[in-house]
Structure 1
């Protein structure tokens, strides 16, 4: 049977850009698959928000992320990307992190080059690891992949906003030389910067589409023309969910029935009761 990592490799080899929504739990991952998307992304920002109620500032641990990832990957069959933050330590920590994500079912892990505690790429307060340390992390991650754990490596740099575009591009080139499958230059601030990155760095590249963030949010066909292979929408479901829940709570507080509420049968179907009942009847005696 084809592994999820092999399926991801097949998807990346096909013509066209791949669209990848972000999730934060098993239910949101199931909705991504149900909507017909080919892949999904476990966002560290979204998991920190929903699991801890805290910002993406390095407060969530490896154990919490990998446990959430195991639940997410178990709920779907599509390839999933996992946010591995900085790898949670030195080279040996990075290796353990990559192994844990691979064995939890992820098809790809993202490793970044900030100093812990890290920050969301579109917020302030980031501090960058040296280029040598960043290279060490990617080399360790690639060693795990090449050593038998079937997972792709996406190397991310947040250095654009701290050290400049030149350094960010050079780091992405280095990551590719070290064997990273995908690169991700976070938070370019113009279409011109996006074009330059795509022109100067080879291999598959991902762009982060955060609504009202630092990077221009462009239609997929324009992103593909620029040179991107993957467009991730990491916070759209979290954003929409928080707004919908606030509106529902306001309605309840005012004594009104919230709008856009599913009936109970639809809700039971969404969480999997029909499939459960089918399985239950199979083993009735």
Structure 2
């Protein structure tokens, strides 16, 4: 059964934020901070695991492994990026089954051609609206937990079809049974307001740092009318900045132990070494 927390938070009508998780170290830190929900980001999980771009190169099997691992490590329920469903209708069916079995709470599909592109990069191509509607219907039908395993439908139409095309597609995806609708890569707060006011279904915001969409304070997103916002690139880009500085200081200044390092002892305990040590004490032979 999927974790009901996502459905419950949406039904409460209170805006919330969801951090993107790119690797299991980030998941451990997110556990410490405390989040009810986390987002398994396709772009950053692909980058961290294989050093590849989010361009449909990672396979269903590879991404399923990443999501299953993240669902195990994270104490927050997992919203998972599933790209296009990795192919046609049968692939979508298979992806829903696999992700739900892996412990995912919600799955997100987009209306790009396969292989897809990151929503904030050029050369995206969309499938026909009718084809995406069929994918959503298949996804809705494939899930076992009809109440708590939620389907998120994303459109990348803004850059090729404008706001009219974006709204037309979202309306169709709403009617097809999507639980949450997701207009990707909007370019202004005005467009964000238009998207939110046109639907009764929850609308999600993608706060992708450096992308097409502005990243206002969370309180502004709440006023605009979003149900929640994901922050897929935040932890990755912050980590890149910190790593670049530390490595530059090491190379140029010989600094191997900078100030403000996270405690090695605490991290070891949070990753599970405390249980290993307990096991050793119980079973070690002198």
Instruction: Name the TM tier (shorter chain).
Output: over 0.9
| CA drift at 1:4 | 3.9
C-alpha distance in 2, partners of 1:279/1:35? 27
C-alpha distance in 1, partners of 2:34/2:244? 27
Q: 1:148 to 1:202 in 2, by over 3 A?
A: closer
Q: Report what 1:201 is aligned to.
A: 199
Q: Report what 2:138 is aligned to.
A: 140
After superposition, residues 39-188 of structure 1 pair within 5 angstroms as 39-145=37-143, 151-188=149-186
Q: 1:206 to 1:269 in 2, by over 3 A?
A: same
| CA drift at 1:9 | 1.0
- Gapped runs of 5+ residues in structure 2? none
**SS of equivalent to 1:164:** helix
Q: Contact 2:113/2:127 (CA < 8 Å) preserved in 1?
A: yes
Q: 1:211 to 1:148 in 2, by over 3 A?
A: closer
C-alpha offsets along residues 144-176 of structure 1, whole Å, 9 cap, x if unaligned?
A: 126769621000000111111111111111111
C-alpha distance in 2, partners of 1:276/1:137? 45
Q: Report what 1:12 is aligned to.
A: 10
C-alpha distance in 1, partners of 2:38/2:248? 31
C-alpha distance in 2, partners of 1:279/1:20? 35
| CA drift at 1:27 | 2.4
- Gapped runs of 5+ residues in structure 1? none
Q: Structure 2 length as normaliser, TM-score?
A: 0.93
C-alpha offsets along residues 75-133 of structure 1, whole Å, 9 cap, x if unaligned?
A: 12321111100001111110001111101100000000000111111111100111011
Q: Report what 2:264 is aligned to.
A: 264
Q: 1:246 to 1:129 in 2, by over 3 A?
A: same
Q: Report what 1:222 is aligned to.
A: 220
C-alpha distance in 2, partners of 1:284/1:228? 54
Q: Which moved more, 1:252-261 or 1:123-132?
A: 252-261
Aligned length: 283
Q: Contact 2:157/2:166 (CA < 8 Å) preserved in 1?
A: yes
C-alpha distance in 1, partners of 2:266/2:237? 23
Q: Report what 2:27 is aligned to.
A: 29
State the Cα RMSD in Å: 2.0
